[in-house]
Amino acid sequence: MPLLTLILMGVAGAIHVGFFVMESVLWRRPQVHRVFGITDPGQADVMAPALLNQGFYNLFLALGAFTGIVYSSDVVTRSHDELLVFTALFMIGAAIVLVVSDRRLIRGALLQGLAPLLALLVAVVT
């Protein structure tokens, strides 16, 4: 895998760790609610269980990216390249679903999907 691909997937993984922290660790804070467009504390309470789950989903995506990066240096087998490609496609797919579900979420979709998309493009071109 090209070095730039690994760097971009590292960025994508870090972004998903950030989502995990906001959704699963810091969700009870009003400033985090506002990041997600939630202004009603009651609505935030109702959403808490789903956001806890979603946060861990994002953490597991990040772990896929980091695992693929760590094992990409294995010159004997390149089977971990597939893990990076799968994880990148998964992140891009989630970004597409986000923006299709609500076009106002384009900023979040770009944040979630741009780094893995660029990583795949670099991998294909080089």
67-102 tens-digit pLDDT: 888 888 665 556 678 888 999 999 999 999 989 988
Domain segments of the chain as ranges: 3-121
CA dist 8 to 72, 78, 83, Å?
14, 18, 15
Q: How do residues 22-77 score in pLDDT, each as one tens digit?
A: 999 999 999 999 999 999 999 999 999 889 989 999 999 999 999 888 888 665 55
Compute the distance between CA of residue 95 and CA of residue 114 in angstroms, rounded to an integer: 9
